[in-house]
Amino acid sequence: MQKYSIKALKKEIDQTEEIKDGITEELYERLTIQVDKGQEPLRIDKFILNRVVNTSRNKIQQAIDNGMVLVNNQQIKSNYKVKPFDQIIFYSDNDPETYEIIPEQMPLNIVFEDDHVLVINKPAGMVVHPGAGNFNGTLINGVAWHLKQQQPDLDESKLPRFGMVHRIDKNTSGLIVLAKSELAALKLAKQFFDHTVQRKYIALVWGNFDEQEGTITGNIARHQRFRKLMDVYPDGDQGKEAITHYTVLEDLKYVSLVECRLETGRTHQIRVHMQHIGHPLFNDDTYGGDNIVKGTVFSKYKQFVENCFTICNRQALHAKTLGFIHPLTEKEILFDSEIAEDMRAVIEKWRNYISNNQLLERS
């Protein structure tokens, strides 16, 4: 029987575009395999081992035990024997590029830690993991040093990217969870796939909303001309489904403070969705938020906005709330973080600006 790599099976993978371009937020992929009509009965772990490279029987058995292997949408036991026409779903980690992880001592704002998970409040400006052009100074470099202090004999290669199951943009601040074991990583990854993880972001966006709450839908994929950007494709089958729910928290005349709740986790999802409906994130230089989108460009107003850009010199987006089922205790845990100081300062500056203008209008 022919043995396939994950890339060779890309037509059978739910997130083909994300694997090809390396753009998925969740770092595990779902591989779907249709069993041939002439297949003889064979244990599920042996069958998957024969079909997928860069895995092991131990990893497959762990995945089965953790409910990460489904046959005809049902969980099975490790002694299950595949039959013709079975549909097998195998959740597998996707790490197309591997870089050496060099432990580096750096301050980490650890919100929660036990033997299984690590929740960190990431500052804006910090890249999450090593990659081209960012080999050090990343969050993962700092986590490697942190774990080395706990386990001096730790082999960094045993935990790819130290159990990353999702990521947030370099210039987005806020909460991120990492797994400290492969078991925890698999169970957390499944929650991300099942859309049961609670993720709430606070964003400052340009403009005002007619409706105080709503849902943005539309597939997200690479921009057809500018490959470093994402774009929304509301019609057709291009890209992957993306759903963002939003609630307006405060109307500041020229800008609005909104809460965004992610149902899916596509790259730049909030940023590109908000741009799509005409409300780019404040000072998002990738999606047009670094222009004066709302208001007139007279000198005092323009200077005020530019001062705000200087205070918060990145897209005004903070991952505020993160909730999930603990992978070992199976108890629900929820974390909340304060909005980053640069965002808080700009929000307060807008409040004062609007308040002073209203006083002038009344006088």
Are both 225 and 308 inside the same structural domain? yes
Query: Do 35 and 86 meet the contact criterion of CB atoms below 8 Å apart?
Result: yes
Nearest to 150 by CA among 174, 128, 118: 118
Residue 350 lies in a domain: yes
Give the whole-number percent of the chain exceeding pLDDT 90. 51
Residue 53 lies in a domain: yes
Please tell me the least confidently modeled range out of 46-50, 130-134, 185-189.
130-134
Are both 275 and 176 inside the same structural domain? no
Query: Do 26 and 186 meet the contact criterion of CB atoms below 8 Å apart?
Result: no
Are both 206 and 331 inside the same structural domain? yes
pLDDT in tens, 17-39: 333 333 345 556 677 888 988 89
Residue 101 lies in a domain: no
Residue 295 lies in a domain: yes
User: What DSSP state is assigned to residue 338?
Assistant: P
Contact partners, residue 297, CB within 8 Å, separation at least 6: none
pLDDT in tens, 155-173: 765 555 567 888 899 999 9
- Residue identified by tokens 């897209």 is 315
CA atoms within 13 A on the CB side of 135: 5
How do 332-336 and 317-325 pair as beta strands? antiparallel
Q: Is 137 left (phi over 0), alpha (psi -120 to 50) or beta?
A: left
Query: Do 166 and 300 meet the contact criterion of CB atoms below 8 Å apart?
Result: no
Are both 222 and 275 inside the same structural domain? yes
Domain end residue (candidates: 193, 209, 228): 193
Residue 4 lies in a domain: no
Are both 89 and 142 inside the same structural domain? no
Query: Bigger pLDDT: 317 or 103?
Result: 317
Alpha-carbon distance of 348 to 346, in angstroms, equals 5
Residue 56 lies in a domain: yes
Radius of gyration of the chain (CA): 23
Residue 228 lies in a domain: yes
Query: Do 303 and 292 meet the contact criterion of CB atoms below 8 Å apart?
Result: no
- CA 290 to chain CA mean position, Å: 23
Domain end residue (candidates: 144, 176, 193): 193
- Residue 18: in which H helix or E strand, if any? helix 16-21
Q: Is 177 left (phi over 0), alpha (psi -120 to 50) or beta?
A: beta
Active-site entry in 45, 93, 169, 290 = 169
pLDDT band, very low/low/confident/very high, at 68 (cuts 50, 70, 90): confident
Q: Give the pLDDT score at 256.
A: 97
Is-catalytic flag, 237? no
pLDDT in tens, 246-260: 999 999 999 999 999
Query: Do 289 and 315 meet the contact criterion of CB atoms below 8 Å apart?
Result: yes
Are both 228 and 353 inside the same structural domain? yes
Are both 182 and 218 inside the same structural domain? no
Are both 217 and 68 inside the same structural domain? no
DSSP 172-217: -EEEEEEESSHHHHHHHHHHHHTT-SEEEEEEEEES--SSSEEEEE
- Considering its fold, how many domains does the chain have in total? 3
Q: Cα separations (Å) of 101 from 125, 136, 162?
A: 19, 8, 10
Are both 141 and 68 inside the same structural domain? no
Q: Which CATH number do you get for residue 38?
A: 3.10.290.10
What is the mean pLDDT of the segment spanning 68-90? 90
Q: Which CATH number do you get for residue 349?
A: 3.30.2350.10
- What is the chain's mean pLDDT, rounded? 84
Are both 350 and 207 inside the same structural domain? yes
Residue 264 lies in a domain: yes
Tell me the residue range of the domain where 153 lies: 110-193
Per residue in 182-208, is it b (16+ CB within 10 Å) or e — as a string?
Answer: bbbbbbbbbbbbeeebebbbbbbbbbe
Are both 36 and 121 inside the same structural domain? no
Domain end residue (candidates: 147, 175, 193): 193
Are both 246 and 165 inside the same structural domain? no
Neighbours of 62 (CB within 10 A): 16
